[in-house]
Amino acid sequence: MSYLIMLICGVLTAMPYIFDFLFFLPYFTLAPLFIIALKKKSAYRHGLVFSLGYFGVVYHWFCYLYPMDFAGLNAVGSVAVIITAVVGMSLLQGVGTAFVPMIFRYAVKNRHPLFAPFAAASLWVIAEWGQNFFWFGVPWARLAVGQHKMLPIVQSASLIGALGVSFIIVLISGFIALAILNKEKIKRVRVYALVASLIFVCNLLLGTVLLNIKNEPKNSFHAAAIQSNIGSTDKWADDSVYNSLSVCEKLTREAVKKNGAKLVVLPETVLICDLTYESSLIMRLKELSREVNAYIAVGAFYSEGDKTYNSMYLFTPDGRLLNTVYSKCHLVPFGEYLPMPKVMNALLPHLTDINMLSDPLTAGKGPMIFKTELGDIGTLICFDSIYESLTLSTVREGAEIIILGTNDSWYKDSAAVYQHNGHAVLRAIESGRYVVRSANTGVSSVITDKGKIISLLGPLKTGYVTANVNTYSERTVYSYIGNTVVYLSISYIIFLFGYKIIENRRKALKTE
């Protein structure tokens, strides 16, 4: 029965990723995980069941890849890849997350109850942060993403980052767990429930204040994000490059003529070619930027020696192509490169077929800033936006606004495209920068420095979004201190275990 409860709680905790109005669920559904961890010796197994329910729901959108004829797979091959993706990602991430309740049990056993909520929050944050460092980690399923529509709740990300928001959620659930564990002691229940409520209300009030603090913009202008709506299959057709460019040219002219856009952002690899060798396309884009008198950011490939990059170019209003080229730093496993190729070829050969590139891409070396008259423009491409550290580095390098090109066409109109946009919301709040997000088939959006989506075009639509954007030179607290909440969490867990070792040693000496 306890395993079934864990599975249900894991599923419910993931619900805000699909239905944002259920944002409140994790505050309550995480509590049983820590209650059972304290009561059951099999805390790891219970944590694994919880994690499988949680990640299984989050990554359900892999099913939208079917059919995978774009990768040359038949129905059977498509189903095999999708099942491997959903089950594999859930297991890979669940195996690590399941250590949270297990370590929690040993860290707080026979300790003062107040140690428990902070230990739970610390361990969860460490687990989320740890997903930054492995190809299978993929920090997609962070608790804060499910809160991105509740702007007052997530404003604290400008101070302590999205991981700090996760810390607050788990901390509240930890105090709720204490209230449930002490249900027979009414006074304690009231105290713990009151503390949980106060943490939530304080974060809400702080967020409301932060939302209403207006910074003085350095510059202000109209920007547009083009959504060409060319799907994965069509994107790789023989004539796709010129078809894509024609669609983008038309939408760019319209965005500039009707809305006065000074900056136009095109999607990730909107041109499936290496612009390094396409002088005719470069000339055509130079003419377009000169004609509309606007900066145009274009996603395409870039070569340097024998290395190929997924990159973003910028054309200026006077028809120049800047020498600065940003290359995607966080490549998509199996889509842009094959992790552990020998192992994958031997164990999971069907996964090696889904990469549509003949050769793996090379990851970029770090942030690059486009110096323009509009301001210093930082760039992210697709997967980059789920890693807070890259946005942090980009702002520290001087970015005053962020442009983001992505291709989420693989996932059609599933929850994935909205979840991915949710990460962009968090990056905007953390960095205190407007984000102009251009997605090949959606969703495209313009997001303010407070995380408000002021313009959005839904998936599978052809068009563009446009809005007035600001550039800022002021930086958020988070841009200075980074993931300090993680380091404090690690220190707290070390303290708990260190103190426990010393206590056990003292007891052993007394009995000798």
**DSSP assigned state of 274:** B
75-82 — which CB contacts under 8 Å span 24+ positions? 77/350, 77/353, 80/350, 81/350, 81/351, 81/353, 81/354
Mean pLDDT computed over 169-198 = 94
The ranges assigned to domains in the chain are: 2-212+483-511, 219-329+364-480
Tell me the two tokens of residue 279.
């002088």
For tokens 């070396």, the residue is 365
pLDDT in tens, 201-248: 999 999 999 999 999 999 999 999 999 999 777 766 667 888 899 999
Checking if the pLDDT of 358 tops 70, the result is no
Calpha distance 336→342 (Å, rounded): 16
Mean pLDDT computed over 100-106 = 94
Tally Cβ neighbours within 10 Å of residue 205. 11
Tell me the two tokens of residue 436.
């102009």
Mean pLDDT computed over 124-138 = 88
Q: What is the pLDDT of residue 471?
A: 98
- What residues does 134 pair with on adjacent strands? none
Omega into 81 within 30° of 0, i.e. cis? no
pLDDT in tens, 400-429: 999 999 999 888 999 999 999 999 999 999
Q: Which of 84-98, 277-291, 385-399 has the weakest average pLDDT?
A: 84-98
Q: What percent of the chain has pLDDT over 90?
A: 75
Which of the four pLDDT bands, split at 50, 70 and 90, describes residue 341?
low
Q: What percent of the chain has pLDDT over 70?
A: 95
pLDDT in tens, 470-492: 999 999 999 999 999 999 999 99
- DSSP element (H, E) containing 304: strand 295-304
For tokens 């490939």, the residue is 301
Checking if the pLDDT of 349 tops 80, the result is no
- What residues does 227 pair with on adjacent strands? 463
Checking if the pLDDT of 353 tops 60, the result is no
Instruction: Return the HEC string of 177-243.
Output: HHHHHCCCCHHHHHHHHHHHHHHHHHHHHHHHHHHCCCCCCCEEEEEEEEECCCCHHHHCCCCHHHH
**Cα dist from 282 to 236, 276, 458, 494, whole Å:** 20, 9, 30, 56
Q: What is the pLDDT of residue 151?
A: 98
Which of the four pLDDT bands, split at 50, 70 and 90, describes residue 350?
low
Which of the four pLDDT bands, split at 50, 70 and 90, describes residue 71?
low
One-letter identity of residue 263? L
Tell me the two tokens of residue 42.
């099999």
Alpha carbon 474 to its chain's center = 23
Across the chain, mean pLDDT equals 92
Comparing CA positions, the residue from 315, 324, 282 lying closest to residue 297 is 315
The answer to whether the pTM exceeds 0.85 is yes
**Cα dist from 26 to 86, 145, 268, 334, 488, whole Å:** 22, 12, 33, 31, 23
Calpha distance 496→508 (Å, rounded): 18
C-alpha torsion angle, residues 67, 68, 70, 73 (rounded to 10): -120
For tokens 């810390």, the residue is 167
Tell me the two tokens of residue 292.
């509309």
CATH homologous superfamily of domain 219-329+364-480? Carbon-nitrogen hydrolase (3.60.110.10)
pLDDT in tens, 435-480: 999 999 989 999 999 999 999 999 999 999 999 999 999 999 999 9
Mean pLDDT computed over 389-403 = 97
Q: What is the pLDDT of residue 125?
A: 98
Calpha distance 237→243 (Å, rounded): 10
Q: Rg of the chain's alpha carbons, rounded to an integer?
A: 24
